[in-house]
Amino acid sequence: MKVVDADAHIQEGPATWGFLDSKYYPKRPIPLEFPEDTASGAFNAAWLVEGRIHPQMAGPGWHIFATPMSLLGRQKKITLGAQEMTDVPARLADMDKLGIHYQVVFPTLFLAHLAHDAGLDRALCQSYNRFMSQACGKSGSRIHFAAVLPWHSVEEAIHTVREGKELGAVAAMVPALLGDDTLEKEKFFPLYEELSRLKLPLAIHVAWGSPTLNHLFDDFTHGGFSSFILPTQMAFWGLMIGGIYDRFPDMKVAFLEAGSEWLPFLVNQLDRHYERGTKNLKKRPSDCLKRGNVYIACEAEEDLVYLLKFLPEDRWVLASDYGHGDTSSEEDMVGALKKHHSGLTTAQREKILSSNAMRLYGLEA
């Protein structure tokens, strides 16, 4: 069995911007480092982009991560080169220790809204995708990446995802909210048509994607859930209510790093809307999920035996969150699934750890 880590991360470093269009080089993200005795503590580094810092750990718009490399990042067991994808052999050695054959890498810095300048937004995405393509190319086809897209223009997003596919991307990463837009908006239909044609999944990842929503919160207590995790559930709801799963039946959609025990509540509520004749719900949502292309990343301690009643066993995946240290991290994926789920069959574990993610991302068995 080839274990697939369905959602790992890079901590972007200066090398990530090595492919930046020369026109935007003066506007490149600049790493800043602070004294270790500030209120940020071990998160003593930030990127300066368009005069704003990321992460921002005080005031409205709060968000947190450990890129650029901070004291916290240097204290991790993972080496600097493995975190920043500049030392691919070191990362592969970590994967071997963890029993992982394939790893699909998602960004960290792009979990926040970065650039108001549409041209800079596009250039940052292109540089990231090109850097990731080069780094993953050194892994012997074991490490793959999800392309990031600019969202000021759907046309530019389509152009970027086409290039991403050519560069070897196995998914298109999107936040659950794109500014003030929800994902079922008609403006995104051309992108969904293109993803269907390219056979790239829409990978909906937790993120601080809406500056408007994020501005409501100024600390970890709320900003770490209400503007980061909760929108993923809003996206699941919106795509179903908007009829997107029926309109684009060939597009695979994955929900990542938001847990999964919210699924029964939303499915039951959606079925009630269907019974009351809600517009665009042409099929009972619970039946749609049984036949569709929706994938969800579970967390090992969740009640998967119960959750299998709502989504078939061939559309669950598992992730380590490698590179991050939050509550979704699962260093020993294989051991955790075995520990928490004696009720699963061997075949079900194999699907969750391996074949489901390979089908989702189009990886070789």
pLDDT one-digit tens code per residue, 198-246: 999 999 999 999 999 999 999 888 899 999 999 999 999 999 999 999 9
| 130 located within any domain | yes
| 51 located within any domain | no
With a CB cutoff of 8 Å and minimum separation 6, the contacts of 44 are 33, 34, 35, 36, 38, 70, 71
The confidence score (pLDDT) of residue 134 equals: 98
The confidence score (pLDDT) of residue 91 equals: 97
The confidence score (pLDDT) of residue 42 equals: 81
Q: Residue 68, Cα to own-chain centre: how many angstroms? A: 19
Structural domain for 81, as ranges: 4-12+74-361
Helix (H/G/I), strand (E/B), else coil: 87: coil
Could you tell me the two tokens for 45? Answer: 């580094």
Mean pLDDT by 10 residues, the chain (365 residues): 96 96 95 86 90 92 89 82 97 95 98 94 98 98 98 96 98 95 96 98 96 91 92 96 93 96 97 90 92 91 93 96 79 79 86 97 90
| 147 located within any domain | yes
CA distance 350 to 140: 23
| 198 located within any domain | yes
The confidence score (pLDDT) of residue 74 equals: 77
The confidence score (pLDDT) of residue 175 equals: 97
For residue 314, the 8-state DSSP code is G
The DSSP result for 163-210, as a single string, is HHHHHT-SEEEEESEETTEETT-GGGHHHHHHHHHHT--EEEE--B--
Looking at the structure of the chain, the number of domains it has is 1
The confidence score (pLDDT) of residue 280 equals: 82
| 108 located within any domain | yes
The confidence score (pLDDT) of residue 330 equals: 76
The confidence score (pLDDT) of residue 313 equals: 96
Task: Read off the CATH number of the domain in which 246 is found.
Answer: 3.20.20.140
Could you tell me the two tokens for 123? Answer: 């250039």
| 262 located within any domain | yes
Average pLDDT score, the chain: 93
The confidence score (pLDDT) of residue 324 equals: 87
With a CB cutoff of 8 Å and minimum separation 6, the contacts of 288 are 240, 245, 246
The confidence score (pLDDT) of residue 229 equals: 94
The confidence score (pLDDT) of residue 190 equals: 98
CA distance 195 to 267: 25
CA distance 282 to 152: 31
The confidence score (pLDDT) of residue 220 equals: 86
pTM more than 0.85: yes
| 45 located within any domain | no
